[in-house]
Structures are given as structure tokens and as C-alpha cells.
Chains A and B, each alone.
Chain A
């Protein structure tokens, strides 16, 4: 009797974003890295009204909503800019990947994916079609990782179903 999903719609920005939501660690954190990218649709156009959430698997001491004075949070949220771009500042997760969820107008249910910071042997990655594996691996220099989300079409990101 699961409750069905519905779209986040276009008008959530007065309610869901909160101060420092994209900053899982403060800028002064010695191990801060950034993760940024662009969300695109099936025509390759930027998606300016998506909401991204990342989860690193450990709540940490910074709080999810109230960032406070602690150093690290495991949860972050970022609404895309008009150019479809997003950015997070975080500490490197303990494991090889972080979990990312995307909500948007036109997505009747969120999509869940994984961001691997390096391309290494991994039971999940190794089971994917080799052509699609690269969609889950961040690019760019270490510490300034880039991960684009393609909702549909060429280079479509692999989404997961549990």
C-alpha cells in the first residue's frame, strides 16, 4: 500500500533550499573537495529547476539542516541554477561513491544514482554495460570533481532501482 510518488514541480524554492544546504563542510575544512556539474534533458538542454541531494552514508557532526559549528555533514541539497549547474562542497566519503538523488518538474519519481570519485574495480560498476559505466564516474582533477547528469538520451546516466 505504498504511497505513490508525484513530481516536485517547478515551485519549491521558497520551501526546500536552506542556508548552506550545498556545503557539507565549511570552506575552511582542510579536506574539502567540490563536486559540480550540469543536469541536462533528452535534448541536451540544461534543466534549470532540478533539486539534487547527496548522501554520504554518515550523518556526521555538522547536522543535515542546521549546519552549526561542526565540521562535516553527510547530507547536502542543491537546486540547479538557470544554466542547469549545481555545486557541492564536501569531505571525501569513506567509501568509493556517494549517493545522489535528482528531483525535477517532469520527473514523476526521483531518480537515484551513484557518483564514483575514481574509476576502480567495483562489484556494481563492473556489472554495468561498459558503454554506460562512465556515466557514474566523476571527471576532472582530484578535489574538483565534475559529474554531469543526463536524464535522457545520449550518455544517459545510469539510474538505480533497489
Chain B
């Protein structure tokens, strides 16, 4: 099974929010609006929106990184002109969100939100800083591994995906009930980015690659 079950008691917030009834299987009607997706125009997403290090007057503190990859459908075809949104904590592990009370510093030069559209090859590319790990109150001494949040639209509303990308070698993944909610080991591995020396830019930024494969739609050819 690829996706985590809704009810994953190790992640306490699922206990009262997981639906108790299984979803109703929908027999595919090719006219169902869920099989289409909003279209995002290039005028809606600026070229600078994909560089989270250039949204303020100064440079954010932290390890500058490039994160790139492709969005593919279940058949391995590129998903073009598709919106990707990315958000994250700063390098100290603090979100620019009023509700985040972690006593780590905010960075006046880092908000932590970006967007881009995939190109004709399904490729996206963000420049940002590596987020820090941060504590949460799920269980005693709970820490989230460093992660980037990704939101992807794809070509059908049924393919809509929000997920999290992790960094290779992070010891906190083994202890994290959100990451571990995915039952299958090989599926969990697909959320870990790869260090990519060919993406790394000399004397500038470390490179990571992360491909995203969307679910099959009911009318998609296999």
C-alpha cells in the first residue's frame, strides 16, 4: 500500500480526524469533473517565485540548496505546466506562522513559501535553504525530521497530492510517526530525496533531486 492509512494512532491527531468509514469507490464516469484539473498560466507564477532565498532584502541564514525533479503520471509520462507549491520551516526549524511557538529564531529574510510550474519535461526547480528539524508535542521528546512540504496538482483533481520530502541520512525519520505512517518500506523510501552532485553548483548550493509520481486516474491509459 502506497499511502498511509487515515488512522495511524502513533500520530495522535489522526485519532479524531481519520474517517471511520471507507471511501465510496466511484465508478469512473469519463465526464466526472474530478478527472479534470485547474489550469495554471505562466502569468500566474513568476520566475522568482521558485527562489525562496530572494523574497526579502537580505539572504536567509542556512545551507543554500537546489531541489529539482520531475512530476510524472503513473505511466511515467511528464506532467507539464502543473503547479507545485513548496513550504517549509527556516534553517532553525521555525515556521513563519503565528501558531509556531518553538523557541527558535525567525529569519527576517525567509518566509518559506514558493511556487513553480513544471516545464515540458515535467521538471521543477526550487532554490531554498535546508530546513531545520523541530520539536512537536505528539509524544515525549518528539522531533520532526527536516522536510519540505510539496503540493502538486497534476492533470486531474483526483491526482491532487500533498506530501513531504525528506533528506537522506536523517536519523529522525526512524522515530517519526508521520513518516512511519506509510506501511511499506519501499514507499517510504520514495519520500527521501537524493543528494545529486551534478545538481550542486560549485561555491554556491548543494543539490537534491526528488521525483513525484502521481496516482493513476480511472481513465488513464496504462
Binding site for B on A (CB under 8 A): 1-16, 41-43, 45, 47, 49, 53, 55-57, 59, 63-66, 74-75, 93, 95, 97-99, 101, 103-112, 123-124, 128, 132, 151-153, 156-162
The B interface is mostly helix, strand or loop, or mixed, namely loop
| Chain A residues positioned under 8 Å from B40 (CB to CB) | 64-65
Size bracket, chain B contacts: 35 or more
Question: Are B34 and A162 in contact, with the CB atoms below 8 A?
Answer: yes
Question: Are A55 and B38 in contact, with the CB atoms below 8 A?
Answer: yes
Q: How far is the CA of A66 from the CA of B85 in the complex (A)?
A: 15
Name the distance in Å between B109's Cβ and chain A's nearest Cβ.
Answer: 14
B204 in contact (CB, < 8 A): no
Q: How far is the CA of A159 from the CA of B23 in the complex (A)?
A: 5
Q: How far is the CA of A49 from the CA of B13 in the complex (A)?
A: 12
Name the distance in Å between B83's Cβ and chain A's nearest Cβ.
Answer: 8
- Partner of B17 from the list A6, A57, A132, A152 (CB cut-off 8 Å) is A152
A/B interface sample: 19 pairs, CB < 8 A: A1-B213, A2-B74, A3-B191, A4-B163, A6-B191, A14-B113, A15-B87, A41-B16, A41-B17, A55-B37, A64-B39, A64-B40, A65-B44, A99-B34, A103-B162, A112-B23, A112-B157, A124-B29, A161-B24
Question: Are A107 and B212 in contact, with the CB atoms below 8 A?
Answer: no
18 further A-B pairs in the complex, CB-CB below 8 A; given A108-B181, A151-B16: A2-B215, A3-B214, A5-B163, A9-B149, A12-B149, A13-B97, A14-B96, A15-B85, A106-B15, A108-B4, A110-B162, A111-B23, A112-B160, A124-B29, A156-B19, A157-B19, A161-B23, A162-B32
| Chain A residues positioned under 8 Å from B95 (CB to CB) | 11, 14
B143 in contact (CB, < 8 A): no
Q: How far is the CA of A37 from the CA of B70 in the complex (A)?
A: 37
Question: Are A4 and B190 in contact, with the CB atoms below 8 A?
Answer: yes
| Chain A residues positioned under 8 Å from B13 (CB to CB) | 7, 105-106
Among residues 13 to 38 in chain B, which have CB atoms less than 8 Å away from a CB atom of chain A? Answer: 13-26, 28-29, 32-38
Question: Are A7 and B178 in contact, with the CB atoms below 8 A?
Answer: yes
- When C-beta atoms are compared, the residue in chain A nearest to B164 turns out to be A6
Name the distance in Å between B41's Cβ and chain A's nearest Cβ.
Answer: 7
| Chain A residues positioned under 8 Å from B191 (CB to CB) | 3-4, 6
Q: How far is the CA of A111 from the CA of B18 in the complex (A)?
A: 10
- When C-beta atoms are compared, the residue in chain A nearest to B1 turns out to be A4
Question: Are B87 and A4 in contact, with the CB atoms below 8 A?
Answer: no
The 6 closest A-B pairs by CB, nearest first: A15-B113, A57-B33, A106-B13, A15-B87, A106-B17, A161-B23
Among residues 169 to 219 in chain B, which have CB atoms less than 8 Å away from a CB atom of chain A? Answer: 178-179, 181-182, 187-188, 190-191, 211-218
A15-B87, A156-B19, A161-B26 are contacts. A4–B3 as well, Cβ < 8 Å? Answer: yes
